[in-house]
Amino acid sequence: MHGPAVKLSKDNAVAKKTRLGVILFIFYTIVYGGFVLIGLLKPELMGLHVIGKQNLAIVYGFGLIFLAIVMGFIYNIVCTRMEKKLNK
């Protein structure tokens, strides 16, 4: 049987972090799914200008990338707080 490459300390925040991760994952999946569905069902919408002079494809595509980065930072902040609180 295996253990980690380095010895890990006990983490009491696992369950809460897992729940938060699943919620954020579902949220992002819905947003990503929206992009894919528009491409599949209403591809002509991708050419519509939505913000400034940029079309939906550019705004949604860039938005998905920025959303992943922002959600990553939020997830880390919340997880770090949970770890500090529950692993005292």
From candidates 30, 55, 85, 88, binder to other proteins by CB under 8 A: 55
DSSP annotation string for 23-55 = HHHHHHHHHHHHHHHHHHH-GGGGGSEEETTEE
52 binds other proteins (CB under 8 A): yes
| Residue count, binding to other proteins (CB under 8 A) | 50
Angle at 68 between CA 23 and CA 15, to 5 degrees: 30
Angle at 86 between CA 82 and CA 87, to 5 degrees: 110
Largest CA distance in the chain: 58
Least distance from other proteins to the Cβ atom of residue 88, Å: 15
Residues in contact with other proteins by CB under 8 A are 1-6, 8-9, 11, 14-15, 17-18, 21-22, 24-25, 28-29, 32, 35-36, 39-40, 43-44, 46-47, 52-58, 61-62, 64-66, 68-69, 71-73, 75-76, 79-80, 83
